[in-house]
Structures are given as C-alpha cells and as structure tokens.
Amino acid sequence: MPENTSQNGHKYTRVWCDGCYDMVHFGHANSLRQAKALGDYLIVGIHTDEEIMKHKGPPVFTAEERYKMVRGIKWVDEVVEGAPYVTTLETLDKHNCDFCVHGDDITLTADGVDTYHLVKSAGRYREVQRTAGVSTTDLVGRMLLLTRNHFKQGCSQFLPTTQKIIQFSDGKSPKQGDRIVYVAGAFDLFHVGHLDFLEKAKEKGDYIIVGLHTDPVVNRYKGTNYPIMNLHERVLSVLACKYVSEVVIGAPYLVTEDLMEHFKVDVVVHGDTPVMPDVDGSDPYEYPKKVGKFVTVKSGNDMTTEKIVERIIRNRLQFENRNIKKEMKELDVLKKLESLDFKQNGHVTSL
C-alpha cells in the first residue's frame, strides 16, 4: 500500500487508533470497524504492559497476547507495538497517519490528563461511537461476581440488533469450489487460544463456518457461571475475526448429516480441548467421524476461558482497585466538566 499517495487521483487516508486492547471484545472491534470506515488503511498502536500498569492498573493479558488479538481483527491493517499512552503528533507523522480515532469516552493518564489533548488541538482527532454495554471493566466485573446471578439479572447491557450483525459480517457466500470448514464451540470471551485454533482451521479450507452453541447448551457442558458472554456477544466477537466467514447463531450440539449437507461442509475441525459428550453421552462428532470428514488440529495454545477467569480471580484485589480507580477518575472529570458547563451556560448540558 503506497503511503498517502494518490492512485487514480484518490488520496489514501491512513487512520491511527491506539489503546490498551486488553481482553479484546466486540466493543474494541466495533471502534476499529468505524475507524477503518473513515479511511483506507488502519494502524493500531498498542500500549506496553508497563504503560498500562502505570496509568490504569494491571492488564489481564500480556502485550504479546494483546498484539496478536488486535492483529486478528479483520479491519486492522497493521499493529504498532508499544505505542505511547499519550498520542502525539510525532506518532501520527511517524506512521504517516492523517488523524487519530477514538471512542467518545474519557481516557486519562495517571495524572488525569486527556491522552488525546495534543491531537485534538491540532484538529487531527475524530470520534466514533463507543459500544454501550461492554467494556473490559464490565467483563472483569462479571467474572468477579462468580455466581450465576448475571444470568438471572441479565448479564449484558448490550442491545443486539440485526444492523450490528450486518456491519460485522462479510455477507459473502462461499465461492464455487471453496472447501468449507465447520467448527463448533462456545467461543466464550474470545481469546488467543480461539484465534490460534481458527488460524489452523483456516489452513484446512477456504470458507470457515463457526457454529456457536446457545447459552443453555454452553452452561450444560461448562457449568457454574458460563458463558460469561451471551450468544449475541459471542456472535460479534467471532465475526470480527479475520479467519471467520460465517457464523451459525445457536448451532445444534450434534454435528448431524443434515447440518453438514445444509452447509455443504467438507471437513469438521476440532482443536486442542477435550470433546464434551452430549446429554445422552454420545459423541457430537460421531457423524463426521463416520464419513471420514473429521480432523483435529493443534492450536499450540493452552489458553481457555476458565484460565482467564482464574487470572482475574487470582488478582481479584488488584482488578477491583483498578475498577474503582477508573470510576473515580472519570467521576472527577465529569464533575469538573459539569461545573465548567454550569459556569459558562448556567446549566448542565448532557455530556
């Protein structure tokens, strides 16, 4: 891709985004989708563990894991490792980016300074709408609840719409001669293990269909408070992955002959984790195995949703403090903005 040069009279716009991208979720993916739509080439700068520790508190995922996850998002063209916490004009210029894009929330340094003040005053800042109802803070909160209450109370504040699914989906059918791969699972808290698995599954064909089990089915075989993310949320996380072509929303647990014929599946793939039997003890992959259309692949990654929850619980106090600190910092800024607004307008306008 030529840098900011014109090709047939068209100027390429290079867009910069940056952030922690810790426990990457569909809110992050949605901001990157919107950012990409504002230009032609999207570069994402990701902060180091040390920077995040200093300004926010301990990240859940290591820098290597966070870099990999963002590289797996289909709207991302390039990742810059170890991007500075405060976005400077030098950073934009170094990467030849026209402007920086961020969600419409407040991001502050440890000293309470807006991390985008420099690019904002230079007119090189654009805002996209933050996805309501999901955040790393909220997901950590769900895990710390550690009860099934989040099901009873409705675990998510996110309002799923068909429009969002359309925006996330490629909407492409398989091409003539495409080899169709089918994989199934929970894909809860979509993580690096899932990403490595899908990369390997993609090597088995051209068009990957991911069958997502419903929340009650996942709860049956995972137990306790799983899934952490509901089916609608899991659909968006999986659709944002660059290896995925299509998703079945609420796939049957048994991979049947009907299902394989319906989607013209050439091969069914399962990864490194054990296969849980169906309610009656049967193997969900019995049919594809019988017809010689079943393979396993090694993701080479031992991350699981359960391990993420363990990490959170092990560092429970630190994460709780991180959440409290973040809320207090934001409340403080809101208060300051409100009093400024009151002084200027005599009333508080909605922020």
The least distance separating ligand C5P from the CB of residue 305, rounded to whole angstroms, comes to 6
Among positions 117-156, residues that touch ligand CTP (CB under 6 A) are 130-131, 134-137
> Cα–Cα distance between 41 and 75 in angstroms, integer?
9
* Cβ proximity of 310 and 283 under 8 Å: no
Nearest partner of 56 among 9, 24, 21, 81, judged by Cα: 21
> Would you give the DSSP letter of residue 344?
H
Instruction: Establish whether the linkage from the previous residue to 216 is cis, with ω within 30° of 0.
Output: no
What is the signed CA dihedral for 276, 282, 283, 286, rounded to 10 degrees? -170
Tell me: does residue 237 bind ligand CTP (CB under 6 A): no
The least distance separating ligand C5P from the CB of residue 268, rounded to whole angstroms, comes to 10
Which one of 15, 20, 180, 268 is in contact with ligand CTP (CB under 6 A)?
Answer: 20
Tell me: does residue 183 bind ligand C5P (CB under 6 A): yes
Tokens 């009873």 identify what position? 152
Q: In sequence order, which residues have a C-beta less than 8 Å from that of residue 27 and are 6 or more positions away?
A: 103, 130, 131, 134, 135
Tell me: does residue 185 bind ligand C5P (CB under 6 A): yes
Cβ proximity to ligand CTP: between 91 and 135 the closer is 135
Nearest partner of 320 among 48, 120, 137, 88, judged by Cα: 137
Tokens standing for residue 282: 């049967």
* Cβ proximity of 9 and 51 under 8 Å: no
Backbone angles phi, psi at 141, to 5 degrees: -60, -45
Nearest residue relative to ligand C5P (C-beta)? 271
Q: In sequence order, which residues have a C-beta less than 8 Å from that of residue 294 and are 6 or more positions away?
A: 267, 268, 269, 270, 285, 288
Which one of 14, 15, 31, 207 is in contact with ligand CTP (CB under 6 A)?
Answer: 31
Tell me: does residue 203 bind ligand C5P (CB under 6 A): no
Tokens standing for residue 87: 């976005």
Q: How many CA atoms within 13 Å lie on the side-chain side of 231? A: 16
The site partner of 240 among ligand C5P, ligand CTP, none (C-beta below 5 to 8 Å per kind) is none
The least distance separating ligand CTP from the CB of residue 18, rounded to whole angstroms, comes to 7
Nearest residue relative to ligand CTP (C-beta)? 103
Tell me: does residue 301 bind ligand C5P (CB under 6 A): yes
Cβ proximity to ligand C5P: between 205 and 271 the closer is 271
Cβ proximity to ligand CTP: between 27 and 193 the closer is 27
Which string of x and - marks every residue 7-46 that binds ligand C5P (by CB under 6 A)? ----------------------------------------
- How many angstroms from the chain centroid is the CA of residue 312? 18
Tokens standing for residue 44: 């994402």
Which one of 127, 178, 272, 283 is in contact with ligand C5P (CB under 6 A)?
Answer: 272
Tokens standing for residue 85: 């916490």
Which one of 4, 167, 169, 304 is in contact with ligand C5P (CB under 6 A)?
Answer: 304
Q: Specify the stretch interacting with ligand C5P by CB under 6 A; choose among 130-138, 147-155, 240-248, 297-305.
A: 297-305
The site partner of 28 among ligand CTP, ligand C5P, none (C-beta below 5 to 8 Å per kind) is ligand CTP
Nearest partner of 233 among 134, 332, 343, judged by Cα: 134
Which residues are at the interface with ligand CTP (CB under 6 A)? 19-21, 27-28, 30-31, 102-103, 105, 130-131, 134-137
Which residues are at the interface with ligand C5P (CB under 6 A)? 183, 185-188, 193-194, 197, 270-273, 299, 301-304
